[in-house]
A and B are shown apart, each in its own frame.
Chain A
Amino acid sequence: MFAQKQAEAAGADWREFVIEALIRVLGFSTIGFVLLIFLFLLREGVPSFYKVPLSNLFGISWYPTFDLFGTLPLLLGSVLVTVTAILIAMPLGIATAVFVREVAPNWAREILKPMIEVLAGIPSVVLGFFGMHVVAPLIRETLGTPTGLTVFTGGLLLAYMALPTIISVAEDALDAIPKSYKDAGLAMGATQWQTIWRVVVPAARSGITTAVMLGMGRAIGETMAVMMVTGNAARMPLSLDSLFKPARTMTATIAAEMGEVAQGSIHYHALFGIGIILFILTFLINVVAAAAIFKKQRRGGLR
């Protein structure tokens, strides 16, 4: 009785068709954006590959004013800061995730989770600011280094920036472990502590690895905080005490130098070239991590 008349139905169908087409286009837009970004990076960055000899590009000196575009110190700077950050963040993050998921009483959980969300929301420039004014002087005074602006300071700050990512993904991984695993452990006479570290965490290790990888991706890509506390010296951080000396990351280099560069100059192209390296690096890290998550979802949650 309420079946619509043919023409009315056709009109509504047409409107619906337009809406659905629009939604479809928007759905595909993300692919478009990624391609666009990669394209523009290539467009502006590739010229550096044929304007600058490769031996220069992979050299150990980054002094653009002298036409030296060795990217190695920057690469190593990023790597060193990131590795430091992960070495700090990994135990902190996993321990906190375990604490929140398995150990903490409800009232503690209600405080911790919002606090971690707050941490995730603090802008990187504010953390860098805090690092500059509080953390760096602290490090200088307690460790006696000539300046507080070091790789270690940067790593410390980055660790805290990566923590929310690591904690939340690790929490999800722990959450996915069926209660039966824990019950089995307890039934065999293990304490909760033993069950956590010998049963639950090992079972969640792929999820936890993913969490750390995502944190790593976050750390490599961070700009402002590192720029403000690592000292911006583009030296090769090769010895162990480089940890407590200044260095330069790829991200900081781009941020610091792009403003003074002439469009179309070799320096300009070289900075875009560094951008390409960053794009590819973070792409690889995130894709591998995401593939692990998808695979787990497909298989239904474990291992």
Chain B
Amino acid sequence: MVDPKIHIEKVSYAYGQNWVLRDVTLDIAPNSVTVFFGPSGGGKTSLLRLVNRLNDLVEGTQMKGRILLDGQDIYSSDTHVPSLRRRVGMVFALPLPLPGTVRENVLYGLKLAGIKDRSRLDEVLERSLAQSALWDEVKDRLDHLASALSGGQQQRLCIARSLALEPDALLLDEPTSGLDPISTRKVEDSLFALKQQYTIIIVPHSIQQAARIADHAAFFLMGELVEYASGTELFTHPRDKRTEDYVTGRFG
């Protein structure tokens, strides 16, 4: 692989005494879609949250190992965490619009960063909404409340919200789990376009979704990284038996 965008090295993570991740090492390639999948409890969401240090918000946890973004340790003591989170955006499983209008939602991250230039804001607004395939649907409703949008639209709004900050990487945690198939399709399609520009890590909500979109895939079982390979390889010729069993539906 070219220089990995994100390098995860020997990472272990525990809630209290419960180790949910054990000695995980993997590299995330830039400008691609990497998929973390596996049965629940595997540690995928925890690993995702470690990458943008969202786990800092939870008390009583411990972490070992390193995570590097563009070669720099994100857990070093002089990491500026808010800046890190602007470079590594996250979309959550349930659509979580912030109170306010569509415009306010998309531009919230920029407001936090202190960007005030009106023309630049408008430009970012349109670009992000277009990238998440929402622009056409909301361009006349930018100053309506975000909570008035449908579930699928709200989730694409959340994606636009993260994209507005032009992050280096985008982390998505089961982003389509609450959505109908049409909205799911729209989100997946936009991901295909987005990977040209962004490094994407996604926890899919079904194996089928994983197989549809993965360039690279990592299979997690009980906190352990079992296998990591390119998408086609992992789903058609898995090397580990456990991977094969899961992918073919023998358990899960």
B166 touches A (CB below 8 Å): yes
Can you name the residue of chain B whose Cβ is closest to the Cβ of A12?
Answer: B114
Residues on the B chain within 8 Å of A65, using CB: none
A1 touches B165 (CB 8 A): yes
Cα A4 to Cα B87 with chains together (Å): 11
Can you name the residue of chain A whose Cβ is closest to the Cβ of B87?
Answer: A3
- CB B84 to nearest CB in A, in angstroms, measures 8
Residues on the A chain within 8 Å of B109, using CB: 2
A9 touches B (CB below 8 Å): yes
Residues on the A chain within 8 Å of B166, using CB: 1-2
Cα A190 to Cα B84 with chains together (Å): 61
Can you name the residue of chain A whose Cβ is closest to the Cβ of B167?
Answer: A1
Residue picked from A3, A4, A6, A12, most chain B C-beta under 10 Å? A3
Residues on the B chain within 8 Å of A9, using CB: 80, 82-83
B86 touches A2 (CB 8 A): yes
Residues on the A chain within 8 Å of B110, using CB: 2
Residues on the A chain within 8 Å of B165, using CB: 1-2
Residues on the B chain within 8 Å of A12, using CB: 114
Residue picked from B84, B109, B114, B115, most chain A C-beta under 10 Å? B114
Q: Mark B142-165, 1 if CB is under 8 A from A, else 0.
A: 000000000000000000000001
Residues on the B chain within 8 Å of A4, using CB: 80, 82-83, 113-114
- CB A174 to nearest CB in B, in angstroms, measures 33
- CB A273 to nearest CB in B, in angstroms, measures 46
Cα A1 to Cα B128 with chains together (Å): 14
Q: Which of B91-122 contact A (CB under 8 A)?
A: 109-110, 113-115
Can you name the residue of chain B whose Cβ is closest to the Cβ of A3?
Answer: B83
- CB B163 to nearest CB in A, in angstroms, measures 11
Residues on the A chain within 8 Å of B80, using CB: 3-4, 6, 9
Residue picked from A1, A2, A3, A4, most chain B C-beta under 10 Å? A2
Q: Mark A1-25, 1 if CB is under 8 A from B, else 0.
A: 1111010110010000000000000
Q: Mark A46-85, 1 if CB is under 8 A from B, else 0.
A: 0000000000000000000000000000000000000000
- CB A17 to nearest CB in B, in angstroms, measures 14
Can you name the residue of chain A whose Cβ is closest to the Cβ of B164?
Answer: A2
Interface positions of A (Cβ within 8 A of B): 1-4, 6, 8-9, 12
Leading 3 A-B pairs by shortest Cβ distance: A3-B83, A1-B166, A2-B113
Q: A2-B165, A4-B82, A9-B82 are in contact. List 13 more A-B contacts (CB 8 A).
A: A1-B86, A1-B87, A1-B165, A1-B167, A2-B86, A2-B110, A2-B166, A3-B80, A3-B83, A4-B113, A4-B114, A9-B80, A9-B83
